Amino acid sequence: MEEEDTGGTERQLIEDELARKQAELEELEQMRREAGFTPRSSLRRTPPQGFSTPPVPYSIPAAASTSMAKRPLTSPEDVQETVRRRVAEKRSAIPPVSGILSRPISDPSSGSDNPTPSTSTDSSSGISTLDKVALMEKVHAALKGIATVANASNKLNLADKTTIGSLSQDILAYVATLEIRLGEKEQEVTACKLKCAQLELSVAQTQTLSAPPFPYAASSVPSADSYAARLKLPKGKPPLCVQSKGPAVIVYPNNDSIKSSDDTKTELQKAVQPGTQGIKIHSVRKVGNSGIVVQTATIEAAQKLKAAVPPSLKVSDPKSRRPLVAVRNLRSDPPATEFIEDLYRINLSDDPDWPRDKFGESCRVAFKKGRKDVPRTTVVMECTSALRDKLVGLGSVFIGWDEAEVCDYVRVTCCTKCQQYGHPEKHCRAAAMVCGKCGETGHRAAECQSATQCCATCKRFKRKDADQHATAALNCPARLHAEQQSVNMTQYG
């Protein structure tokens, strides 16, 4: 009996709930009728005037119908919210750069609201086949299309937004293509620069390994270890190569039976076998008093050579020359003591590495140079290698009221009688006078009647370019070789 009462109570509750729901539905229906709103199955957009495309009824895509089946569109606000969500989803789906570059070429200047692929270019090739000018024209047309759509109406509809989005992707594709091409060109330029650097290094190494033939330097082009890297020459002077050699050994005869330098060389060659004893000899040249100078390659080679010299010969070490530094074109001619004092007080007194005593022992005024027609003086000093490095590194010094340039001074002597380097005229042993203008014998340059010039030194060695420069010119190969010899015998440190 109690079970029947419980079942009847539950049925009564269900019936009461159904009646309440039915009443609520009738109340909502009454409110809808009073409001006068009837939802339509489809919403049509009224096209603007002049729009030739017929209106398309709005329909929910199949992909979205499943997710929206639980919530039907019953008001204009629901429809607008759905459209906004779909537009936002399309905008967020940005394709990758590879997809953009392979997309068909659109033509925004065709006049339609929706850009269409261009028929003049194969769509399978994409925009990567266009040149720079065509890409810039496409960018200009896309920007013009965006401006046209934006200025057509103050309020953009969905078609206008789609057009602007497509044109924006076109611009991104064109700019990305130009950027990729720029990167490729930069890589090509870098590769070319690397190749040029490798070729320059190869040429420099070749010039360093190949020594110039005697008696001329083969070329005035500096090698990897160039003279200009260590020495600062005056303006207009070609750089000279500093050759890395060992110490030189001077060999003189020890008795009267040896009469010439050739006899000294023959005697030394009988006693010394470089191949057997492992002595590296760079060069051999003659000097006065029947002596020879043997230029070794290393210190060990010089020591072995000294130990192997026979008793008939004697060995001596050459005197090392200290570097010469020139202070050029002073407007005054100060005395040597005043020049040294100004050089130290104005330029080096604040340097703790150069106290007064050390500076005084490291330099002296060797000589002065000047011309009568120019009121200028060049002071040439003899310095230690350390002081030479300091002064040349300064570039210029202050002397009294002047600021003068500092550079190395390489001195060579050219005989005015035979036009050869290494000795003055008073020590010349030549029998005939050689003209320094035409290169012929029998007269001096002041007495020459020739209308052409010719280097007498190069003519003696039968060089083909002897008529292309004067004797003792700055670019003369004989002078460059003499200066090279002077540099090699100077102790630059």
CA dihedral 104, 105, 108, 112 (to 10 degrees): -40
Over residues 366-413, the pLDDT tens digits come to: 999 887 777 889 999 999 988 988 898 888 999 988 899 998 888 888
SS3 of residue 200 by DSSP: helix
Domains of the chain, first to last = 75-210 (no CATH), 248-316 (3.30.70)
pLDDT at 240: 59
DSSP 3-state percent helix, strand, coil across the chain (nearest 5): 45, 15, 40
326, 346, 479: which is closest to 402 by C-alpha?
A: 346
Residue 295's nearest CA partner among 235, 349, 250 is 250
Q: Given this model, what pLDDT does residue 111 score?
A: 45
Among residues 387, 404, 386, which one has the least CA distance to residue 395?
404
Predicted local distance difference test score (pLDDT) of residue 219: 39
Phi, psi of 329 (to 5 degrees): 60, 55
**C-beta of residue 219 within 8 angstroms of C-beta of residue 212:** yes
Q: How does pLDDT run across 10-26, given as a tens digit for each residue?
A: 778 778 878 887 887 78
> How does pLDDT run across 125-148, given as a tens digit for each residue?
566 677 777 777 777 777 777 777
Distances 7 to 14, 425, 471 between C-alpha atoms, Å: 11, 148, 138
Residues 110-130: pLDDT tens digits?
444 444 444 333 333 566 677
Each residue's pLDDT expressed in tens, for the chain with a length of 493 residues = 555 555 567 778 778 878 887 887 787 777 667 655 555 544 455 555 554 445 444 444 444 444 444 456 666 677 777 777 776 665 555 455 455 555 555 554 444 444 444 433 333 356 667 777 777 777 777 777 777 777 665 667 777 777 777 777 777 777 877 788 888 888 888 888 888 888 877 776 665 544 444 343 333 333 444 444 455 566 656 555 555 567 888 999 988 888 899 999 999 999 999 988 889 898 888 888 889 989 888 888 888 999 999 999 999 887 778 889 999 989 888 899 999 999 999 999 888 899 999 999 999 999 998 877 778 899 999 999 889 888 988 889 999 888 999 988 888 889 999 999 988 888 888 888 999 899 898 888 888 988 888 999 998 888 888 888 889 888 888 888 888 878 877 777 6
CB 117 within 8 A of CB 191: no
pLDDT of residue 299: 86
Exposed (0-12), middle (13-18) or buried (19+): which is 142, by Cβ within 10 Å? buried
459: closest CA among 476, 481, 482, 474? 476
Judge contact between 377 and 326, C-beta under 8 A: no
Contacts with 207 (C-beta within 8 Å, 6 or more apart), sequence order = 219, 221, 223, 224, 241
Check residue 138 and give its pLDDT: 77
Task: Give the amino acid at 397.
Answer: V
Do residues 420 and 432 lie in contact, with contact meaning Cβ atoms separated by under 8 Å? no
- pLDDT at site 344: 92
Buried b (16+ CB within 10 A) or exposed e, 205-230: eebeeeebeeebbeeeebbeebbeeb
Q: Distance between CA 5 and CA 214 in Å, rounded?
A: 136
What is the model's pLDDT at position 88?
65
Q: In sequence order, which residues have a C-beta less than 8 Å from that of residue 69 and are 6 or more positions away?
A: none
* Helical axes 76-92 vs 158-209, angle rounded to 10°: 10
List all residues 6 or more positions away from 1 whose beta carbon is below 8 Å from its beta carbon: none
Residue 484: the pLDDT is: 82
Q: How far is CA 437 from the centre of its chain?
A: 45
- CA dihedral (352, 358, 359, 362) in degrees, to 10, reads -140
User: What pLDDT is stored for residue 146 in this prediction?
Assistant: 76
